[in-house]
Every structure is written in C-alpha cells, then in structure tokens.
C-alpha cells in the first residue's frame, strides 16, 4: 500500500510539474509573440534580427517534430525516389554539366574575364588528378558533388539577391557583434591602445569569439549545425561520417580543434580519411580568427564567411581527388559516430573555459606575427644586399613571389595589372602566414577607398574590387608551411600510433589545401559581378571603351558633374576623382559616350561638348563654354 501511495504521489507530482511547465511555456510564448509583433509593427528593420532568429528556431523545431512523428513514413517514398534517381544519376549529371556550360557561355559573353577563372578552375583539377596517389581509384561522385555543392553555394551567395542580402546582413551582424569586444578590451587596456595598437585591437576579438563558440558548443548548437552539414556532404558525396564531420567542423573551429570531434576514431581511420581531415584544416579558417581578419578591415565579413563555407565541400572533394580511398572504412554508418558535448557543468564554466583556452591561441598568433615579420624584414634586407651587388637593390621576397605566382594569379581571374600584387599576397600567405597576407590586402583596399593614385614610384598602391574579392577567397585558409608543425603536433597527440602515416600525408594535404583555396577563388572569379555603387575611379581609369553601359553612363554623369574647367588640358575633380595624368583619359572616354547616351551632344547643367574625332585609341574634345 505504501508503495502504491508513493507511486500515486509521484504521478500527481509529475502531472503537476508538467502542467506548471506547460502554463509557464504558454505564457512565455504568448508574451514573446506579443513583443515580437509589437517590435515589428513599430520598426521592422530594427526587429529584423530577432525576426530572423525566431523563424530559424521555428523551422528547426517544426523539422524535428515532423521527423519524430512522421519521419519513417515520409522517408520510405523518399528512399524509393532516391533509388530511382541514382539510376538516372549519370543522365542528370550530364544535363547539369551541359546546363552549366550553357550558362557560362551566356554569362561570360558579358564579362569575358570570368572565362579565365573557369580555365583556372579546370587547371587546378587537372593538376591534382595528374599528381593523384591513385588516379584510377578516384571517386568522381565525391569530386563532382563536392564541386557542385561549392558552386551552388557560391551561386546562391554571390549571384542571387536573397543569398547576397542574407550573407551581407549576416556579415554586418557579426561586425556589430564583434564590436562589443571593445567594452572589455577598452576597460583593460584603455581606449587609446585599442584604437592604435594591433595587439590590443584584433587579438581581444579572438578571446571574445572563442568564449562565444564555447557557449554555443555547451548549448549543443554547434554540434547540431556541424552534424547537419556533415550529413549533407555524406549523403551526396558518399564520404565517411568521420571525415565529413571533421571537415564540416573546420568551418567553425580550427585545424587542431575540429579533429577533436572525431578523436576516438582517428586511430582506425584510413589514410584517405586522415588526408581529408588534414586538407579540411588547411583549406578553411577558424571562427575565432575570423573576427581578427574582420578587424583588419579587409573586404567584408560576408566574403570571409562565404569563403569558409564554400571551402568545406571543395576540400573534401579535392582530398578524394588527390588521395582517393583504396581501403575499407570502418565508419561508413552514422550510428557509430557520436560527438562529445564537453565537460563544462554550466554556461558560465563554458564561457570561462572558452576564454581561457583562447590564451594559447592569442599568444601563438602574436608570437608568429612578431617572428615572421622580423624574418621577412631580414630576408628582404639580405635580398636587397644581394641585388645591390648588380645594381638592383629593389629585390625583395615579395618581388620574387610576384613573378613566380603571377601566372597562377592571372588564371584565377585577377586582372593582369593586378596579378603581381595578388601573386605577392599568395606567396606571403604560403611561406609566412595568412595574417600577414590579410593585413597587406587590407592596406591595398584602404588605399583604393582613400582615392590614392594607382601607382606611386612605379609600385601599385591598390587593386580593383574584383581582384580584392578573388584575393579574399584565395587567402582564406591555414595552408602555409608554418602550419605543418601545428597540424602534425595536434593530430599525432590524438593518435600517436598513426604519426608515421600523418607525416607521410601532411605535405600532400598542404598542397591539396592550397589548391582548395585557389580553386575557391576561381569560383568567386567566375561568379563575381559588381554590386551596388560602381567604383568609378577604377572603372574609368582603364583603356578607352567601345560600348556603352549603365555603369559607364552613371560614372560619366558623376565625373562631369564634378569636373571644373581650368585650362585646355587641366581638369579639377572632387569626391574621389583626383588630379592625375589619367584624368584626361577618363574625360575623353566620358566625352564620347555620355552625349550619345543622352541622345544628343549637350549635357544638361554642365559643359557643352563638341566631339571632334573618335578612333579606337584617341578622342579629342573641346570645352568652349559653360551653360
């Protein structure tokens, strides 16, 4: 009787607890919905972030509910359709390839420079196939699907308005979020130091981001997201869950942290799987250092996020091209792979652990920057000394890299006049590290935005926005020679018995990871189109045009509205159009097209233009008077 009475009490307590919980959740949900509606009505733009996060949570919860209640019933017909689809897979692949070729032909007719990037993409694939360890065993399903996923992601992010707007908005939110670091670093170091000193400006962001990632990991959000990305790559590419999981994790964590997700399985993984794990680490960047790159002011956060996301399937695909699977994997079923949730007891401990764990990373970044910049300066001094013996003291490491990697930079889609600068950045990134390269890239971008002359004493001061975008994708990865020791040290500590295999594969993985970043840049070059306001200084600073366009019309209108007649060949400009020897070329270009675009030879509210001659290389104009 006592047992029954206690059971009844437990049952009543349980039902009361459930009832109270349901009432509490109902009231909380109703209050939140009322608040969200009120916020959206008052200012939808202001409440956009909250609205998007709410929609994401709803979609996830609805998906989990449907999967739990009707998952098996829905999957049966889906599996049948998938089986039929796989039978027709080759036909679909041929149709997709034909559609891609047709689309490229139409798209590159407007922008022929995109075709060069496509040639670079094919070049890297052929190089990896030629140097593949087992060319006859390549799984073209993994390669095709990986590159297809990468291209589809790039197409959505770069070319579609919803994708571009979504990632642009996400990048803006991350920049705003990272600015909160100044509250902590400003209190510790002072406002003056964080405004001017790199160590106090960029490195605290790494600590803050690491703390946030640790909290997300404790809450299980990171594991859920990584598992879903890994599942997508596994079912499409046919790769093992272990390698897919590690490569997916590399989108968010570093080259030594991602393998921790699969640490128990490393000793029994095949060589091809270990190679894929290494390649994924080299081809992507960690979320913790993403904030540091953003703090440099390079490109924008959306480009860095897109580059890291696109690199994941590409890294797995090229890994299977460079080192195909020739062994039998023990982890081809998802059931045997579990992710550790960490040992933090609560959210405060998780936050503290994340901040503490980042200390080594911050110290490593600072130490490497000090050492490598000092080595670079010493190397340049030595090369200048050697070059001075033959009257060429301008010889530097960057100059050598600019000549060695210049053809590669051009094949990636960089303009020939920018290829030497981009080649220099690739060389610095490969032989030193990506921090130094990104810092250089940010300086070039800053010079362009400040309206500096393109050349100063024969040296380029900035590169075009297209080349900046391609360079951002090319530099987005940990593939450099200094990372070899980090990779070997991290992986061998997790699986000491496989140290020999790892040492054998690490150079090949570095080469594959480098090719992944460069191929990622080729995809960006294929898909890149100018967006928003046109950079008129760069646009009109080229050769003479032979066709009219809306961009040309807008830039010409802006140029003429800001031009003041001083002397027969001297013009004064403002708002970005600085005085230079190239100004005459810009005005000549504008003089021919702007009147024709308007349908006449007169410019409203501007100078009267009299067109004298037009040839492919020369335009002569007279500006006799003002209206």
Strand 564-565, strand 610-614: pairing: unpaired
Interacting residues of 604 by C-beta distance below 8 A, sequence separation 6+:
598, 627
For residue 443, tell me if it sits in a domain.
Answer: yes
Predicted TM-score (pTM) of the model is 0.74
| Alpha-carbon Rg for the chain in angstroms | 28
Residue 472 half-sphere exposure, CB side, CA atoms within 13 Å?
31
Q: In the listed set 26, 47, 62, which residue is the last one of a domain according to the structure? A: 62
Q: Is residue 540 part of a domain?
A: yes
Q: What is the pLDDT of residue 590?
A: 53
Expressed as residue numbers, the domain containing 32 is: 2-62
Report angle CA 611, 614, 620 to the nearest 5 degrees: 55
DSSP 65-104: HHHHHHHHHHHHHHHHHHHHHHHTHHHHHHHHHHHHHHHH
- The answer to whether residue 360 is domain-embedded is yes
Q: Do residue 200 and residue 216 come from a single domain?
A: yes
Handedness of CA 551, 556, 557, 563 (dihedral sign): positive
| 407/541 same-domain check | no
Question: Is 211 among the domain residues?
Answer: yes
Q: How many domains does the chain have?
A: 3
Cα-Cα-Cα-Cα dihedral sign, residues 482, 360, 288, 201: negative
The SS3 of residue 622 is strand
Identify whether residues 277 and 425 lie together within a single domain. Answer: yes
Regarding whether 475 and 422 lie in a shared domain, the answer is: yes
Give the domain-ending residue among 531, 562, 592.
531
User: What's the half-sphere exposure (Cβ side, CA atoms, 13 Å) at 483?
Assistant: 29
Tell me how far apart the alpha carbons of residues 347 and 343 are, in angstroms, rounded to a whole number.
11
* Coil, helix or strand at residue 607: strand
Name which of 300, 180, 309, 320 is nearest 237 in CA terms. Answer: 320
CB 482 within 8 A of CB 368: yes
Structure tokens that stand for 68 in this block:
């739990």
Regarding whether 313 and 387 lie in a shared domain, the answer is yes
- Is residue 96, in this structure, part of any structural domain at all? no
What is the reported pLDDT for 323? 93
DSSP per position, 363-412: HHHHHHHHHHHHHHHHHHHHHHHHHHTTT-TT--HHHHHHHHSHHHHHHT
User: Do 160 and 55 fall within a single domain?
Assistant: no
* Rounded distance between C-alpha atoms, residue 81 and residue 71, angstroms: 16
Bridge partner residues of 619 (DSSP): 614
Q: Nearest 5 degrees, angle CA 377-CA 200-CA 463?
A: 55
Can you tell me the distance from the alpha carbon of 476 to that of 290, in angstroms, rounded to the nearest whole number? 9
Query: Are 200 and 289 in the same domain?
Result: yes
Per-residue pLDDT at 516: 94
Query: In terms of domains, do 291 and 415 share one?
Result: yes
Query: Distance between CA atoms of 285 and 479, rounded to whole angstroms?
Result: 9
3-state class of 132 per DSSP?
coil
Angle in degrees, CA 49, 53, 58, rounded to 5: 150
* 291 contacts: CB under 8 Å, gap ≥ 6: 174, 178, 181, 202, 205, 206, 208, 209
- Calculate the alpha carbon distances from 525 to 115, 464, 539 in Å: 9, 13, 17
- HEC secondary structure over 176-200: HHHCCHHHHHHHHHCHHHHHHCHHH
Residues 292 and 403 in one domain: yes
SS3 category, 615: coil
Residues 594 and 523 both lie in one domain: no
What's the rounded Cα separation, in Å, for the pair 502 and 500? Answer: 5
Angle between helices 397-404 and 416-431 (to 10 degrees): 120
Nearest to 245 by CA among 268, 218, 219, 265: 265
What is the structure's pLDDT at 130?
A: 93
pLDDT at 321: 94
Question: Domain check: are 524 and 543 in the same one?
Answer: no
Measured distance CA(566)–CA(572) in Å, rounded: 7
Instruction: Tell me, yes or no, whether 204 and 331 share the same domain.
Output: yes
Do the beta carbons of residue 325 and residue 136 sit within 8 Å? no
Residue 459, φ and ψ in degrees, nearest 5 = -110, 135
Tell which of 531, 565, 582 closes a domain. Answer: 531
Pick out the chain residues at pLDDT < 50.
543, 550, 564-583, 594-627
**101, part of any domain:** no
Rounded distance between C-alpha atoms, residue 252 and residue 255, angstroms: 10
What is the per-residue DSSP string for 519-551? HHHHHHHHH----SS--HHHHTTSS--SS--HH
What's residue 574's pLDDT? Answer: 38
Within-domain flag for 26: yes
For residues 521 and 409, what is the distance between their CA atoms, to the nearest angstrom?
10
At residue 601, the pLDDT reads 42
SS3 613: strand
Separation CA 250–CA 282 (nearest Å): 9
C-alpha to C-alpha distance for 472 and 517, rounded to whole angstroms: 10
**What does the alpha-carbon distance between residue 44 and residue 36 come to, in Å, rounded to a whole number?**
10
* pLDDT, position 337: 63
Longest alpha-carbon distance in the chain: 112
In a domain, 107, yes or no: no
**How far apart are the C-alpha atoms of 354 and 140, rounded to whole Å?**
40
């Amino acid at each position: 009787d006592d047992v029954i009475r206690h059971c009844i009490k437990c049952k009543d307590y349980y039902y009361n607890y459930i009832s109270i919980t349901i009432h509490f959740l109902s009231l909380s949900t109703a209050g939140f919905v009322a608040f969200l509606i009120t916020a959206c009505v008052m200012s939808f733009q202001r409440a956009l972030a909250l609205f998007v996060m709410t929609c994401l949570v709803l979609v996830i919860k609805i998906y989990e509910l449907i999967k739990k209640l009707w998952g098996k019933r829905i999957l049966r017909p889906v599996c049948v359709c998938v089986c039929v689809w796989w039978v027709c897979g080759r036909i679909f692949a041929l149709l997709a390839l034909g559609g891609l070729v047709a689309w490229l032909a139409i798209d590159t007719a407007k922008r022929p420079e995109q075709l060069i990037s496509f040639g670079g993409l094919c070049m890297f694939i052929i190089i990896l196939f030629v140097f593949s360890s087992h060319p006859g065993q390549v799984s073209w399903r993994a390669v095709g699907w990986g590159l297809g996923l990468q291209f589809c992601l790039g197409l959505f992010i770069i070319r579609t308005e919803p994708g571009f707007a979504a990632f642009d908005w996400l990048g803006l939110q991350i920049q705003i979020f990272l600015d909160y670091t100044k509250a902590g670093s400003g209190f510790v170091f002072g406002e003056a130091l964080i405004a001017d000193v790199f160590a106090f400006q960029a490195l605290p962001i790494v600590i803050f981001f690491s703390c946030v990632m640790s909290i997300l990991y404790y809450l299980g959000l990171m594991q859920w997201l990584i598992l879903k990305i890994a599942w997508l790559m596994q079912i499409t590419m046919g790769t093992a869950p272990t390698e897919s999981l590690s490569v997916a994790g590399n989108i968010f964590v570093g080259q030594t942290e991602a393998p921790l997700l699969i640490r128990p399985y490393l000793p029994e993984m095949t060589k091809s799987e270990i190679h894929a794990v290494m390649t994924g680490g080299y081809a992507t960047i960690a979320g913790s250092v993403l904030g540091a790159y953003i703090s440099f002011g390079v490109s924008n956060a959306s480009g860095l996020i897109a580059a890291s996301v696109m690199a994941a399937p590409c890294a797995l695909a090229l890994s299977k091209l460079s080192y195909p699977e020739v062994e039998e994997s023990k982890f081809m079923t998802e059931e045997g792979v579990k992710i550790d949730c960490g040992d933090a007891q609560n959210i405060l401990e998780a936050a503290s652990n994340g901040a503490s764990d980042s200390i080594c990373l911050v110290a490593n970044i600072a130490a490497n920057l000090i050492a490598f910049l000092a080595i670079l300066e010493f190397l340049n001094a030595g090369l200048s000394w050697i070059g001075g013996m033959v009257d060429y003291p301008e010889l530097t490491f960057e100059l050598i890299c600019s000549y060695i990697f210049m053809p590669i930079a051009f094949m990636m889609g960089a303009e020939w006049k920018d290829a030497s600068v981009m080649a220099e950045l690739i060389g610095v990134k490969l032989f030193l590290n990506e921090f130094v390269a990104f810092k250089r890239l940010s300086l070039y971008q800053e010079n362009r935005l400040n309206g500096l002359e393109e050349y100063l004493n024969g040296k380029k001061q900035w590169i075009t926005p297209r080349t900046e975008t391609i360079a951002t994708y090319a530099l987005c990865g940990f593939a450099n020679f200094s990372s070899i020791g980090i990779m070997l040290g991290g992986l061998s500590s997790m699986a000491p018995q496989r140290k020999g295999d790892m040492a054998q594969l690490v150079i090949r993985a570095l080469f594959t990871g480098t090719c992944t970043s460069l191929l990622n840049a080729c995809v960006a070059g294929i898909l890149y189109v100018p967006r928003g306001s046109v950079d008129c200084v760069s646009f009109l600073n080229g050769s003479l045009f032979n066709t009219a366009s809306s961009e040309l019309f807008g830039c010409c209108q802006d140029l003429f509205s800001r031009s003041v007649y001083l002397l027969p060949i001297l013009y004064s400009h403002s708002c970005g159009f600085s005085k230079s020897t190239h100004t005459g070329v810009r005005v000549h270009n504008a003089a021919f097209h702007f009147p024709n675009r308007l349908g006449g030879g007169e410019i409203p509210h501007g100078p009267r233009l009299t067109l004298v001659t037009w040839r492919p290389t020369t335009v002569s104009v007279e500006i006799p008077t003002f209206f």
